[in-house]
Every structure is written in C-alpha cells, then in structure tokens.
Amino acid sequence: MLDIKFVRENSDLVKENIKKKFQDEKLEVVDEILKLDEKIRDLKLKGDTLRQERNTTSDEIGILFREKKVEEANKKKELVKEINSKIEIIEKEENEISEKLREKMLIIPQMIDPSVPIGKDDSENKEIEKYGEPFVPDYEIPYHADICENLNGLDKESAGRTSGNGFYYLIGDIARLHEALIAYARDFMINKGFTYCIPPFMIRSDVVTGVMSFKEMDAMMYKIEGEDLYLIGTSEHSMIGKFKGQIIDEDKLSIAMTSYSPCFRKEVGAHGLEERGLYRVHQFEKEEMIVICKPEESMDWYNKMWSYTVEFFRSLDVPVRTLECCSGDLADLKVKSCDVEAWSPRQKKYFEVGSCSTLGDAQARRLGIRMKTENGNQFVATLNNTVVASPRGLIAVIENNYQKDGSILIPEVLRPYMGGKEKIEKK
C-alpha cells in the first residue's frame, strides 16, 4: 500500500506505474482516491475548527460561572452540545470515507523498481544468468511420476480416494529424499546466519490482506469455514505477520529468518492441477527465508537472497538459471522479483523452483511494522525468497540424478540425511 501523501503529490507517477503493469482499469481508482482524500482533509479541517471553537467556548463557560453569569453560561453549554453533535457527525463521515479510501488504496500496485523490464506477462520475463551446464543423457528420462512409482515411492491413486486430485502419498526412500531435501535446506540457511522458525500454519484475515493482494488471496488461499482463519500458501505469510503492529529498534535490524511449513494452495485458473505428476498440487512443503530490514538495505538483501537459492541447487549439482520478472508478472505488492528455475533434462528446458521478491514498505504499511529511529518511527522493508519447495525441488533432484537402470543417485550433501545411503533402487 502506498503512502497517501505520495499518491497526492505524485499522481501522474502512480498512473504511469499502473500503465507499466498493464492495469489501465485502475487509473480511474487513482482519481477516486484523490477525491476521497480531499474530502477527508476537508472534514478534518471542519472538525479541527469545531474542536477549537468548543475549547474556546468551554473556557468562556468557566469564566461566566465564576462571574455568576449562570444564564449566559448555560447558553454556552447548549452551544457546546450542538458543537459536539456536529463533531460526532463529521467523525462518523470521516471514518466511513477513510475506510473507503483504504479499500481503494489496497488496489493500487506498489511502485516498481526502475530496473524492472516492462512486459505484459511471464512470457516476457528476461533471463539473467545460467549456473551449471544443462545436461541431457544419452538415455530416456521417464516422467518424474513414473520414476517415483517404479521405485514404489508415489501413490496418487490412493490419495485421490482419500483427498481428491492434487494430493499424493510419498513412500519409502522417495519420501525420505523429500524430507532430506527440506532438512538440508534448513541447515543450509542456518549456516548462512538465518534464525530457524516453525510458524503457525493458519493466519487471520487481517494478516492475509497485509501480506498479499485480494486477487492473489482469492486464487490461492483456503478458508477455514466458520472461523477467521486461512491455511497458509507459504510460510512467508505468517513469518511477516509475526511482526504485525510492532515497532522494532533500528539497531536490531536486519532480521533474517528461515522457516519450514506445509503449504496449501487452490491452484485455480489457467495452470490448473497435474493429473499424474507433482509439479502443481494442492499441498507441498517448503523452506522459506524472510528479511525485515531498513529500506536502504533491501536491494543488497535481495541480491544475497536469490543467490542463496542458486547456491543451494548448485550444491545439489542441479543446473539453474535466474529470470527477471517483468512488470506485468509482478504481484501488486512487489517492487522487484526474480525466479530461480531448475534444469529438466527430460523436458530439455528450465522450470520454476523458487521466487525472490523485495516488497519495499508495502507489507509493512498494511501490517503496521515500523522501526524506531532518531528521527521517529519509519516503515521497514520486507523481502521473501524460496530456499526450496518440494515436490518441485524433488523433481529437479530426481531428473538430474536419474540413472539408466532406473535408480536415482542421491546428491552427496543429502546422504547424511538418509543414513549414508548413496542410491535409491527398486527393491
């Protein structure tokens, strides 16, 4: 959410930013915001004038009573009552309009960084750099679901009976490899100096609207019927929500945390669900990282954070590349974002395994997260990034370590988490 003062003083820039995000339908909302803002300021002025008049009249009443001018004092008291009624009406109207203003302000996208490429959708994202040499073996690599099923490691049919499409059972060594990946990601980030945390897996609606746009919420979140609770789609939501309404001493920043959680997503829309595979599902597990910092430090953190994901996958010997998200592919709260994509030797192309974003003070404004400085309280900056989300990370490891005989070599860094096991073979 932008600062209303910024919108008021830079409405042309705000509109230009909306155009860059190809959301022209929101241009008229800026004009509506300016009208509501003007109305609120007018009401505030009227209210302040009436309060001053009330204070002056109250002082006069005291003087009149001391001078024994009771009748005149009582008339002034009636005038104070009238003024109070007017103030009450003004305050009620001001609160109603302020709520309308906030609702419309939540629609306006965050100002994007000047370095963000302009494009309508993810088809116009720009490749930044490749890490590791993409490799295609001289033998066929089956679909990842077939590999797992052949190793007695996946059962989607039973999950369909218990839970429906979009769910799965991971079994045996495949399940163990999945958990090894998550555990290794946890330790990898702890070694980078991040504090480990397991957060709540459900959050209230005021936290949901604080960390994401309404459009994202409708497309992603599962609501708990009859309660003000939502299942998280990523632990970033509850991790940032942890600091809701807090004022953090400046000398305690930056705060860098890594978190484990299951994640739940509707996965509605054009992408849909995978009938057989594990790429797009309703439930998965994830190791996430978040940072809360001073605004001037956010870009340094952004570059460090996505580089950690690259380093993580390269330690698994998985080739990856980074993509700069274009303006039309940025969610409304994001200032800048990039995706990390892993190489698929089966498809001979890259696929998304992580996303890093800096959100400026957008989430901080919505949730009231500030830092205490010598110059007063200021909003912090927030960032988030995927270390690994599995099964997607699992797919990358399986495909890049699949052997001609149908077995999977376990990356060396994961072997301690699997009791020293070096290979997964069919029993």
| pLDDT (tens digit per residue) in 297-321 | 999 999 999 999 999 999 999 999 9
Lowest model confidence (mean pLDDT) among 122-131, 230-239, 271-280, 377-386: 271-280
d(CA 206, CA 366): 9
Residue 268's pLDDT band, with cuts at 50, 70 and 90, is low
Looking at the fold, whether 407 and 287 belong to one and the same domain comes out as: yes
Decide if 393 is inside a domain.
yes
Lowest model confidence (mean pLDDT) among 65-79, 113-127, 134-148, 264-278: 264-278
Decide if 218 is inside a domain.
yes
Q: Among the three residues 49, 73, 105, which one is the final residue of a domain in this structure?
A: 105
Residue predicted with more confidence, 266 or 20: 20
d(CA 239, CA 229): 15
Looking at the fold, whether 190 and 266 belong to one and the same domain comes out as: yes
Mean pLDDT calculated for residue range 221-247:
93
Looking at the fold, whether 92 and 14 belong to one and the same domain comes out as: yes
DSSP code of residue 26: G
Decide if 272 is inside a domain.
yes
Evaluate if pTM is beyond 0.85: yes
Write the Ramachandran bin of 119: left for phi over 0, alpha for psi from -120 to 50, otherwise beta.
Answer: beta
Looking at the fold, whether 52 and 101 belong to one and the same domain comes out as: yes
Residue 7's pLDDT band, with cuts at 50, 70 and 90, is very high
The total domain count for the chain is 2
Token pair of 184 as six digits:
């290794």
Residues 6+ apart with CB under 8 A from 290: 236, 239, 240, 256, 257, 259, 382, 383, 384, 385
Instruction: Give per-residue pLDDT as tens, 15-67.
Output: 999 999 999 999 999 999 999 999 999 999 999 999 888 888 888 888 877 88
Token pair of 325 as six digits:
């998200």
Decide if 317 is inside a domain.
yes
Mean pLDDT calculated for residue range 227-247:
93
d(CA 254, CA 257): 10
Looking at the fold, whether 198 and 259 belong to one and the same domain comes out as: yes
Instruction: Give per-residue pLDDT as tens, 184-208.
Output: 999 999 999 999 999 999 999 999 9
- Using the predicted structure, report yes or no on whether residue 122 has a pLDDT greater than 60: yes
Looking at the fold, whether 302 and 396 belong to one and the same domain comes out as: yes
Decide if 110 is inside a domain.
no
d(CA 283, CA 168): 9
Percent of the chain with pLDDT over 70: 97
Residue 80's pLDDT band, with cuts at 50, 70 and 90, is confident
Which CATH number covers residue 87?
1.10.287.40
Looking at the fold, whether 73 and 166 belong to one and the same domain comes out as: no
Contacts 24+ apart (CB under 8 A), 218-223: 219/266, 219/268, 219/269, 220/265, 220/266, 221/265, 221/266, 222/264, 222/265, 222/266
Residue predicted with more confidence, 278 or 402: 402
Range of the domain at 328: 122-424
Which CATH number covers residue 340?
3.30.930.10
Residue 270's pLDDT band, with cuts at 50, 70 and 90, is very low
d(CA 194, CA 36): 43
- Using the predicted structure, report yes or no on whether residue 274 has a pLDDT greater than 50: yes
Amino acid residing at 325: C
Instruction: Give per-residue pLDDT as tens, 327-336.
Output: 999 999 999 9
Buried b / exposed e along 167-185 (16+ C-beta atoms within 10 A): bbebbebbebbbbbbbbbb
Token pair of 62 as six digits:
């005291």
Lowest model confidence (mean pLDDT) among 52-61, 150-159, 287-296: 52-61
Looking at the fold, whether 58 and 206 belong to one and the same domain comes out as: no
User: Residue 345: its pLDDT value, please?
Assistant: 95
Mean pLDDT calculated for residue range 238-251:
95
User: Residue 55: its pLDDT value, please?
Assistant: 86
- Using the predicted structure, report yes or no on whether residue 384 has a pLDDT greater than 60: yes
